[in-house]
A and B are shown apart, each in its own frame.
Chain A
């Protein structure tokens, strides 16, 4: 089974072959994997070298010329290093593009803080109108990428080495389990561990691979069918990144919210494996189960 990154790169090559209006901008990362596509489309696969400000601005300039840019590198370099370029050259100029990152919050587990970007979605969320996809499976990544190409919207596609065993290709919050004690909403790669953590608990489980726009109606419907406005939000980036949207969605009813995700109180300085980072942030199935039970008073 190809990874999300491999799926993204092979799908991008397909898109380049089929759509003369799509261009890909790279900053060295993934350029080797797209070398064949670059040979076929030398004007539309552009590697600017290790220059991430230029990476983002070049994408915006392509959009101004009428092309649909796919702009790709690791999330810390794509979103954080060139954030003003995203804010001004895409949002403020009001042009569209598809920004695709691979690496998530701590996929590069031994690389240290420089290669971790738990704040990427929160940063994008500070700008109006972006669509944010956080696929949990390579098949979801492929479909979300393909669906991002038509039109001129601004899209952030966040790919990860962490994935679920199977894909869920619905839109918005998909209800995978129905319960009556509370609602647990999993985003992207958090799903399988949430399913494991809530096994045997009487809770409704939601899943979303698109977190912006936030599916407020889907959350409300799940709360209504559950009968209890107690929500646990499990996100693979900064804890509480979507908390304001949950509060907005449930603003007319008393509700409780517990936000799980990458911890905000400290910078976790470890290497090791993904499982080590999961434990450190309380995002392994066991920790999630404890958090959910504690929150629900079980």
Chain B
């Protein structure tokens, strides 16, 4: 585990705690918090000032349930105001139990229904390539249970065959898939031609190292293993 915690991370538990009323998805939120932190803190080239920059990195939160960790990270990084958090999901709030891109600048996709983020990310990665924008990364976050959706498997094959080196998928593995993934999740990606890394979803240095793995000719899958869903 990392020994140096970067500034801001220690604010997350308090920010998450003020968003009450989504207890069903508390575990989902907690499962993603370290990955989201490492991405926004050290990996993604995206700030509140660059949300419309065509050369920004894109983060597509596919697993949209339990977004309190996402909102907390966006708050620490200046995309959201802390004052909005306690009233989340009120009629007057723009922060729902699934994020809405039309209501929150900086949120790249609206999510909720599972199995949409990775397929959309393929289109965005292809679009950036067609426009010769070779710098931006497209990163999508899915859950291990979300991989049950067949649309992901359409996408896993095609992303690798088309050599989408600008695409990263991070799978939060909290062992919640109904029938599991014998042999491991990374194998599903690796067989199709992805670069893969499996690391602790709590170890910031290991996550950073995985996200910055060179993968010059193929997409990257990072499997971030966290505690099994209770």
Contact = CB atoms under 8 A, between A and B. Distances in A.
B125 A44 contact: no
A57 B116 contact: yes
B44 interface: no
B110 interface: yes
B221 interface: no
Interface in B180-199: none
Interface stretch (B11-19, B26-34, B67-75, B147-155): B147-155
A57 B151 contact: yes
Nearest to A21: B131
B108 to A, nearest CB: 7
A6 interface: no
Nearest to B128: A65
B39 interface: no
Given A61-B121, A61-B122, A88-B116, A67 B127 contact: yes
B154 A23 contact: no
Contacts of B116: 57, 85, 88-89
B129 interface: yes
Interface string B108-130: 11100101100111111111111
Given A58-B122, A85-B119, A89-B116, A65 B131 contact: yes
B101 A62 contact: no
Given A43-B129, A65-B131, A57 B113 contact: no
Contacts of A49: 157-158
A189 interface: no
A63 B102 CA distance: 15
Interface in A99-125: none
Contacts, number: 99
A66 interface: yes
Nearest to B123: A61
A94 interface: yes
B119 A67 contact: no
B126 A23 contact: yes
B54 interface: yes
Contact of B158 (A43, A48, A67, A89): A48
A89 B120 contact: yes
Interface in B39-75: 54, 58
Contact of B154 (A48, A61, A62, A92): A48
Contacts of A62: 123-124, 126-127, 130
Nearest to A51: B154
Nearest to A71: B123
Interface string B130-163: 1100000000000000000011001101100010
Contacts of A53: 115, 119, 150-151, 154
Nearest to B124: A61
B2 to A, nearest CB: 33
Interface string A63-92: 111110100000000000000110011001
Contacts of B125: 61, 65
For the complex of A and B, list the 9 residue pairs with the smallest distance between their C-beta atoms, beginning with the closest. A61-B123, A65-B127, A57-B119, A51-B154, A58-B123, A43-B130, A54-B154, A61-B124, A61-B120
Interface of B: 54, 58, 101-102, 108-110, 113, 115-116, 119-131, 150-151, 154-155, 157-158, 162
Interface of A: 23, 25, 43-44, 46, 48-49, 51, 53-54, 57-67, 69, 84-85, 88-89, 92-94
22 contacts: A25-B123, A46-B126, A46-B162, A48-B154, A51-B154, A53-B115, A53-B119, A53-B151, A57-B119, A57-B122, A58-B123, A58-B158, A61-B122, A61-B125, A62-B123, A64-B58, A64-B108, A64-B123, A65-B128, A65-B130, A85-B116, A88-B110
